[in-house]
Structure 1
Amino acid sequence: MLIDTTLREGAQLFGAYFTTETKVHILSGLLALGVDEIEIGWVGQDDLEELVDRIRPMTGNTALSIWSPCRGEDIRKAAALNVNRVNIGIPVSDLHIYKRLGTDREGLLERLAQTVLTAGILGIEYISVGLEDISRADEDFALTAGHIAREMGASRIRLADSLGILTPLKMAKLVHSFNRQLDIDLAVHCHDDFGMATGNAVTALESGAHYADCSVLGIGERSGIAATEELAAHLTLKEKSHAYETGEILELCDFVSHAAGVPIPRTKAVAGKDIFACESGIHAHALGKSPEIFEPYDPETIGADRTVAVGGKSGRSAIRLALGENEIVYPEKRIPELVTAVKQLSWQLERPLTTQELTELTKLH
């Protein structure tokens, strides 16, 4: 199941500033997609109460959660909000424990126990504890922290690869270890510093994790995290294990792209405008016969269009296909001449040809 954190992790992206109206628009898109949980922000956020009040009537089966540091005063603020879940973050690597928090392992565990217990006393029904920087932590100590959180009433442990240094094999091993030794919901938070985020998240889910964090376009601190659109498409269109409503996902990606100031590469998985564009002769020929030969899923399932253009890589089959699709009548015996003309013009322009340019060439050759 997917925990979208575009409005918490994603909002931490350098230079990203979301207005309340922008956040409501993003939330509406996420609810339409049908993600299982939305981490709507963090304790202390200026517009948090207004945001919760405005979106709560529309949430349906989607859980709303809030992120909080592992501090009693922040938990009390979180408990006053109309959210379903509270995600408590606490680091478990010695580097963070000693140098960032200025405490030791025993002090950290004591703080964790007190904070989770406080959350339960305050009536928070679903308490999630995020073990930050777990990929650099002592695993036995991290497991001890998980056991204490569980004993104090936590419902979920979230394993955070905070620097994105795990690989899928190491992620699988970590998830198996926690699942084997700890009877509790398990989530993962995978950063993308080495391009492993979505792969690690998929591997974690396949290895027994119950939840995976994600954000639209993967935006977040530094290189970001696993991408919502990639996970939703994979689970729905490839694995068919979930039924996320992917039909308008491109619109959501485009909106977040503009709001966050993050351009979408034209070949970006799921979200790129050219992922269903083709000019290669062999591919174009195959698409004309049966699209599934070279397409992993139907473009319409994500609200995309297929584009077959002719250019410097096109052969006779691609030219015939383009002529037919554009209802251009052209003598078969002159196709080789047209192919040559198309290739010459395309290389001159350094791009595929438009329909108008192809039409003009048919008049000249």
Structure 2
Amino acid sequence: MSKTAGNKSKALRAVLLAAVAAVLSTTAHADGSLAGKTVTLVTCGTSNPWCKVFNDQITSKLKDAGVKVNVLENDFDAVLEVQQMNEAISQQPDLIMVEPADDKTLVGSAKKAKAAGVPVLYMDSPADPAIMDDIAFQVIADNVALGRFAGQNIIDGLRELGLKKANVIVISGTKGSTMVQDRQRGFEEVMATAPEYKVIDVQDGNWDPVLSGNIAQQLFAKYQSQGGIQAVRAEADYTAIPVIQAARQAGMKVGVAEGGLIVSGTNCTKAGIDSIRAGEMYGTATEDAFTQGEYTVDAALKFLRGEKVEKTIVVPEYRVTKATLGQYSEVCSKG
């Protein structure tokens, strides 16, 4: 073969290789492959049952899309979370996804991330209004609605018991979280429509099942000589169950059928659904981990692909009672 023919052959081979590379590149883009992209997930720990389902849903879909995921877990520890945000920023990922333990403490972190050119996605709980220009976007629950649903559960349960007055307590998630504050605001709005039922105490259970159960036990004893407690709003199903256990240990009856304590949860789970079926927990609401994770990760993937994403995405939420179990038990039972 002549030198000229050899050069032509090499040139043709180069053209073919370039064409193949272009096809592969186009195919990868069409498949939505995000190989080479990195995400740091700063989130609640998987020792929390809701968080485990939420985190697994997000990480599995990110990895399926080719994204490298680094997970930094905390148990709603605001101080640790700030440290983790600093670590995440130093890694310079394509996106930081954070589940805020306390929105106020993360203000500085969000501003630092923006200055470093690292986009931040707030998950589940809304960002502090002071940093809305500093974050990329947020995917949040309709927390005011969730609080309203809990209020309606409490009022309906107490009225089914025929009570003309009642003492109600709240064992909340981390009080510094805007999410928790929004839920409490929605709850109080609805409770104000039934002034005969008084919210006499609100305690911070920090999303911790053991702590929430212990607080319930203490409050049952504290108010025993002051008319007792007739209803409890727990921040999540997995904290409502320990409240019911504490009531049983205190010798209290639970549920409408027993003429006992009315309990409402939120963040529905299989345990909560089973408790409603058993007539112990009166009701709950969605904000289930699977759906919340699905909305969040889908928005993150769109962002990583360079697609337009709304600044605030609100996940629709629904009230769950014995009457609506057929509609929501399946999705709630994934958690």
TM-score range (shorter-chain normalised) is under 0.3
More contact order relative to length (CA 8 Å, sep ≥ 6): 2
User: Which is strand-richer, 1 or 2?
Assistant: 2
TM, length-normalised to structure 2: 0.27
TM, length-normalised to structure 1: 0.26
